[in-house]
Amino acid sequence: MSQSDPTTFRCWAEIDLAGLERNLKSIQSALPKRIRYIAVVKADAYGHGMQQTVARLMQAGVDMFAVANVNEATAIREIGTGWPIIVLGATLEQEESQLFEYELIPTISTVEELARLERRAHREKANLKAHMKIDTGMGRLGIWHEYADELFQAFRKASRVTLNGIYTHFASADKDPAFTRKQREIFIETIARADWLPVDDMLIHADNSAGITTFAPDSIYNAARIGLLQFGIRPYPESMLGRADTTPIFQFKSRVGIVKTLPEGASISYGRTCVLKRESRIAVVCAGYGDGIPLQLSNRGEVIINDQRCPILGRVTMDQTIVDVTEVAEPVESGDVVTIIGSQSGSEIRLEEFSIRADTIPWEVMCSITKRVPRIYRTAIQSG
């Protein structure tokens, strides 16, 4: 048995790289031709694995990458050269030299950051391209739009750091179309105020996954930053969708450890939050919050065994989760596959549903599936 043979694992994730490529193509074809595709692959490509995800996206034809920090960006450079890489987070002083060494594109939100980088560029005797971020209502990175002119002026004076792109980020593109429209307008107006800018030669971007599913990009934009949607996750109202047809590529699986019978009145797991109301068959599953099943799913979540949904009983523990298999038609046995996220013939638990039940969001779920869970990859050859 090989290292990537799922039959050897007690808890693992299956990732369909061919599906990733199909999703990418579908999103690309839904976007106007001029829109450059910036693949957002921060946090280990949303838990899918940086190495394999990025390699596949490079082959499949993305234009650029965006990550949270310099460390993630250098990892991409080691996978392949030639793709511009935007660092979306703030770059710390001790990280600056890597921007030059790896030709990364930093995000600049303050005049101080630009001054610091300009000084560093002079010391390194090197030039750097940077993107300026405008805060149009996210209240995180970026210069507040009303103060943007001072940063534009600072860029105008800088000699070694060039303004290569301008962007903003939406705070509520999936929930609040009116606020998002306002952010779009502010962004366009702010750029228009700097009428000396050669915007045609710059990358102008705002849309994330929710942004492209809710609005057709205004003509000023020539790029979009796509994270969640390329992984086939779409926690957006159906009314807002329809442009890109994407499907999930991630499955989270485990196995039954033991099956046993417990009498009516027996209590289950730490804290005894579940007391059986009838004699029950229970399965102890080989995965817990140490693998990424949130504690919040205690007494609330479901898994799929033998194509049937089975409720989680009692508290999720670090290494094990107890489920009720009394109603499962086929006898459940030790070693049977348990689908935590994904599908088994007729039954499916989507990540979107899983997140809602756990009182969280898909982004956090994907960042919470731990290192203990090996990621195995299906390629085009295996999945047709």
Ligand X SMILES: *Cc1c(COP(=O)(O)O)cnc(C)c1O
Binding stretches for ligand X (CB under 6 A): 40, 42, 88, 169, 208-210, 225-229
C-alpha 289/C-alpha 256 separation (Å) is 16
CB of 44: closest distance to ligand X in angstroms? 13
Q: Which residue lies nearer to ligand X by CB, 210 or 376?
A: 210
CB of 345: closest distance to ligand X in angstroms? 30
* SS3 per-residue string spanning the chain: CCCCCHHHCCEEEEEEHHHHHHHHHHHHHHCCCCCEEEEECHHHHHCCCHHHHHHHHHHHCCCEEEECCHHHHHHHHHHCCCCCEEECCCCCHHHHHHHHHCCCECEECCHHHHHHHHHHHHHHCCCEEEEEEEECCCCCCCEEHHHHHHHHHHHHHCCCEEEEEEECCCCCCCCCHHHHHHHHHHHHHHHHHCCCCCHHHCEEECCCHHHHHHCCCCCCCCEEEECHHHHCCCCCCHHHCCCCCCCCCEEEEEEEEEEEEECCCCEECHHHCEECCCCEEEEEECCCCCCCCCHHHCCCCEEEECCEEEEEECCCCCCCEEEECCCCCCCCCCCCEEEEEEEECCEEECHHHHHHHCCCCHHHHHHHCCCCCCEEEECHHHHC
CB of 47: closest distance to ligand X in angstroms? 12
Helix pair angle (50-60, 17-30), 10° resolution: 50
Q: Which residue lies nearer to ligand X by CB, 367 or 380?
A: 367
C-alpha 124/C-alpha 160 separation (Å) is 10
* β-bridge partners, 338: 254, 305
Contact 128, 160 (CB under 8 A): yes
Q: Which residue lies nearer to ligand X by CB, 75 or 380?
A: 75
Q: Which residue lies nearer to ligand X by CB, 152 or 170?
A: 170
Q: Which residue lies nearer to ligand X by CB, 158 or 226?
A: 226
Cα atoms in the Cβ-side hemisphere of radius 13 Å centred on 13: 26
Residue of closest CB approach to ligand X: 227
CB of 281: closest distance to ligand X in angstroms? 40
CB of 316: closest distance to ligand X in angstroms? 26
* 265 class by beta-carbon count within 10 Å (0-12 exposed, 13-18 middle, 19+ buried): exposed
Q: Which residue lies nearer to ligand X by CB, 294 or 362?
A: 362
CB of 268: closest distance to ligand X in angstroms? 36
Q: Which residue lies nearer to ligand X by CB, 244 or 310?
A: 244
Contact 368, 6 (CB under 8 A): no
CB of 209: closest distance to ligand X in angstroms? 3
CB of 289: closest distance to ligand X in angstroms? 24
Q: Which residue lies nearer to ligand X by CB, 66 or 310?
A: 66
Q: Which residues are catalytic?
A: 42, 270
